[in-house]
Structure 1
């Protein structure tokens, strides 16, 4: 069983009640981590500081967390977080609701200047949309443009089409959904009634209904039991009759329930978790479907979720690094061998049990007259309204007289209507209400069912044998690789050869250089290129950072940045004797044209000119005027005609961990991975989110990408205007 990473509709229905107890709390601040985790810091009059996390990425959750567990605040709040702060600072939390039975929560905040609604979509790719009181979208993490609905800034927020809410469904609507299904009961509950897989199975178990029962075989009694189970569940949710549980697999019992599973009797206190225990689920009340798992009780569901996701994240972070240590192949191989031994024992047991069933059926036929006499005696007595006690006394009298049929009867179960007979040393239960043929057929059918279980076990053992063979192959490959060289003495200086994408844990080594607020990159020859983001920065570059020996580049097109190819760092002595490589100048030219209006206009090339720093002046010719950020050129210019636009965004892991961007020829050699861009139809913010998701897919350590490469940081290195990934 894999750990739960997304809250269910039932979870959200339970959460609404508990989150509602924080109504009246005031919002202090909002944060955004990456492109999928929103944190709201609030103050509650009675309970003090309240931290609310809303995550809509691969993990989808919404719950409060203990203050000591909140992630460190990002260094630079992105635009989305600033928008939230502007709208929510000092606002009152006015309530939360679930949309129908969908995985959507709507948080409402009130302030004197208006209402703000935060709509959290915990399904599909996930989304957080911020709207005003009339549901007009102010901003959203993901823009949605589908035939069925649209979620974009400036438009009215559109909820998905409504679905059946099983917690409020009438009996007539319930039967309608069931009768119009073409699958089995559990799938109908999961899809038609929208319970999802886990709670669909839970309803069946609570109702005592076989999950795989075909819907055509379900009668009125089945419907009644299912609907009653649904009503009880709905009543628990409405009345907040919760008894939260955190389910886990103990390291010492391979997932079996222990005496302290907390599913009945007095609730024990949550045990101190071992780092080897594996959390699997957190639910608002005990589930019979999790009866085989160890469980820890909690006072409320919010606390259970906080602990669950904290321990889940910690387990992910503490997973051993396969690149740093030898996997325990022996333990893995031994585990598969134990499983095969157990599976083989089960197969042998199935064979013996099925064979015994068939032999018993044949014994019934072999003693046809005897069994028929026993069944006729019982059936005639029942037709004469004789009690089971009287029937048992009659067989006892028969044994005393030496009647063979009576001597064969060794027990009678009045509650089940079963008679146990002993034939050739085997004891066989026969149903007294049926004939010999029906009893024999039942035994043959049971033998067939056990045979099918054996077939399933045979398939499972073959899978395990393949797993065993694969583990042995991995051991051989590891040992072969280990013999190719000695990794002893490996240290951080070897990072240049490290496979960063496959590393499950990448250390953060941050550095904010003086030029980070400008556009910048280092050429493939190691020279720094900086460009202005606006007129103020263009002005600053020319006045403050332009030194002898530098080269200045600019596009012929209007609206380009002042681009300076630095011959030296400002902390070094300047020199006009440095001969800058042509390759660096060409990369700087591509940088200049890429971040100009050429890209914004959707063109793929433009003209760029280059001059020495001494040719640039802020003093205009007589009678002329220079705008802010403008400059005058004296002397000849060197032109680079039809310079192609082109940029790449990458993630650098050594010597620092950060996002970088610039011409692909320069960036490719400096980053662990890069993505090339070209002019396209995606707005800058949307394109940045697409890049962010691509990077998360490439790195084994997704948390590393979230920490250093948020969409906002990626956008920092992207050209103005629309973009698209070059390979798409």
Structure 2
């Protein structure tokens, strides 16, 4: 029997009852592990330390855990965790509910300055969305844009379509839903009544109804027995009448349930005082049990990959549809401004004149409201006054348009057209992305067809294994493949996610990177110390079409580490430092009045994203495939790409001496000395070493 890796709707209904006991606990900190496991560390007056876990990856669960079962805090918290800490530190846990009978939990947190809602989606791909008091998404682990719902920052959170709740459905509605089915009883309970396979079978067993009985053969007696069994199940869930079990088969945990199940009667069972404790024990043991051995020749799960690519396409199509609607709406607003030119001009002139006389926005709003009561068309058209943004919203025949009174009608209309154009450009990027996804889908389908048609996949696996097992160090003659790239004029490396990072070695290169190579979708990094390279995390190359990129945290962290390691932090002999990241539009060569910017320097305006206590360490290595060259940068990026590497930290050997020491170490490792001299001379190694003294880290 396969071990359960996701909680059922029945499990969540039971869990909500128990989690309510922790209402009033205060949040201390929030942690994020591996992009899919959230840990809320809280303090409860009666119970002391409370550890709430929510996981939405391959395993989907939520429960309070024994502190001894909680992993040590991860390293520097990612942005998502920092955002949650800012919103939740000191907040009270105000309760949790299950959305309808879906596998969705809604956690409420209250604080004097703001309330926060956490929605955990424990189905499908899994997701966690953070909502403000208005239900707007602040951040989410995954962005979802479908025709039916949207989960994206800045949008109202969209729940999935409503599903029937079998625990509260009336008898007549229950009968109608059963009669609509064209399959057997257990499948109808599992799908139409949303019980899932296990509890669909359990309801049948408790009701004494044959699972495979065709719906067309089921009568009132069967329906009444099933409905009565469901009612008894619902009563236990609502009353918290639990007798939790963890089930074991062949010394491996396979399930945890809030009460004993007849469908699990043949398995060894262990009792627990609470369902939370049972879930905690179950998932703790599940995580530590060894994976079942495989032969390595199992058929790849092409269907799962195809389904994943199709889901991505559905989301991208939803995004494109959204772009089209938004662009059309902006053009419609622009055309409405021109269609009601005189009316809008009157509104602008009235508000502008009042502001010129220093009339407060509140008074302007009151005057417009009085004018609307008197039937003045211009005043009636104003539906909102936004003092914070210095704007008014006007209703033009049912089309609401924000208007900036500081500029004329033409400028306002032009801004709407410009916004429509910007949105259409994003649509073009989405169209290119969906084409790439379709190509990936086609590639998976081709691989599936090849697997089914012949044994070619096995041969391909053997070839790949041989390639992975190439012992480059012992080869008597390593082939040299060394094409030239534009970025070799600078310091550079490729992140572990494949993105290019470049940095300047001096003021001239810093200037060139910003003026010639920085694009709007890149990210600009710099150490929080004087004397460091301008560092760019590139979204695309100079010859590629511009596109928006959601950079993984790993790439952001590696770029920050690069910026710190090649700065004065290293030269000063320090082992860590801070770095910050901004968008390209925040970087300027225009100084404040009366100030001067030296060559290679820039002014940064606006908020910065900081990376604290970033380790100053680098790796240099010899890459043999697909190209042959020296590479260097953050160890997490360099070590997987190289045949052999050395790690360095700030130390006592001057840059050229450290390069020679690295070369001598590599020379002892490679049998092909000729190859090493051609691709990895001390001078070439030195190009990847930070300025200042270095030492090789002994392994």
Scaled by the length of structure 1, the TM-score of the pair is 0.47
Output the TM-score relative to the length of structure 2. 0.48
